[in-house]
Structure 1
Amino acid sequence: MKKIIGMAVLSFLTFSAFAGFETPEDQRTKRLTERALETKNYIDSMVGRTAWYNSNECLTEKIYPDTSNISYGSATYSTNGEYKPIVFESAEMQQDTYKDYVTFKIKIGETDEGYIQTSTAMPLKISDNEYVGCFKANKPIKKESTISKSIDDILFGWSYSCKKDKFNQSKSCYLHRANSDLMVGIYNGQHSVYVGRDHYPRSQSAIKIDSNTPIYGYEGSSSTPQKAIEQLKRGKVAYTRYKEWPYDYNQDGEVDLTGFTEKYNEMIDEYKKL
């Protein structure tokens, strides 16, 4: 069950270290509180900043007209292949069990506005690094290579983002294919393979690569991620299965693995540089 936490409430959140007995609910509340503060710091680092946005370069990070239509198939903002300045004006946070969702209100150019949603699992980032997100700190110079990269992204659809936490120095990278239910990541040296979203409580999930034996997990998280990654690097197609809240039935998906290995290796190289 998702929980909406307003920014006014966040300002009063505190957590304290203590020794003693804790119930699972105490531990859960503490984790959520700590993560909420980390998410607030992330929001504070983004609100007020300006970035350059090109809808043709951002296949997985779309700007939507309102908060009630942020999903695949909804209308999205087009820059007609040009870079436009956008300002992150404000944000709202929605807390889930394993990650927080952040919805930014965006000012586009002089007159337009919209909304973009991201999550703490793979937060959007403003960077001039061509391999880190698609929101640029400076207006890019149009080059032929940009067109080639756009074509590659359309064909293969794999993109990743990386970050290093300025407070605790933790490092993370996450790789995702556009419009799929599959995400691969590395956090402080620990690999992860994640399937689906908004999982039905205590439900089983699975991923099957080509004709290999299915690899099972719990609420989307694979129990043997490195085994799954090795199969993904050699595979052609991945089949996913999970149960999405509030419906207790299987959601099946299929992911083309073309280009996965190349982008995965790029992500690992970028992770090592953090």
Structure 2
Amino acid sequence: MGDVAVADAALRYAEVSVGYHGTPVLTDVNLDLVPGQRLALIGPNGAGKSTLIKSILGLVPVLAGTSTVLGRTPAQARARTGYVPQTDSLDADFPVTAGQVVMMGRYRRIGWWRPTRNDDRRRVHEALDRLGLADHAKTHFGVLSGGQRQRVLLARAIAAEPRLLLLDEPFNGVDAVSQEAILSVLRELSAAGTTLVLSTHDLTVAHELADTVCVLNGRQWAVGPPDETLTADTLRRAYGGHAIELRDGRTVLVEP
């Protein structure tokens, strides 16, 4: 994946190592993503998926190699990067509505403590509507279901109009209705040119959504189209020999 010019790349990592306090968590990462590309990060717990995502945000240091995000350093590109975390720090008991949560995604554009504009309110409504939650704008965030809260957090991210969207296990604990709503919006965003990077344990999602898969566990084991990377052999090696079963032509991980 080395044919993408830096100026055209949404994300370029070349021989990158990332980690904490000078100790690598993940090594040998090589990625070239263009606008609209959809990358799924696959690997067991502790493989480095979340660490890689945080490095793209500039929150975890790159210890070696070359890294550019939207043509800039990860930290410089953060304002144009959206992020849906695995577990949000927002307290479900905090008295805030779904609409107010989504409006948080506009703060970088309007500035803290400045009044919202009609355009900001329109963007918030559109983001909620795309996720099927327009009628819940005034609903207390804490009373929404887990799937609905996840959709609100995605709406918050897309309200910021990011060029690159990072999602850390966005389907954990999400009901089927919410998962389909999220997948539909992600496809729309990609078609409009937003680059997607998401970590997931769901190989079916990786097959259906991603055009590129990166298999990780301490290092990059494989990267490429799903049919070439999500093979039983690659997954056995990356997952440390855990059992792999092939069911109806689909690869399924069986964790011990």
TM-score, length basis structure 2: 0.29
TM-score, length basis structure 1: 0.28
Q: Larger relative contact order (C-alpha < 8 A, sep ≥ 6)?
A: 2
Compare the two structures and name the one with the higher strand fraction: 1
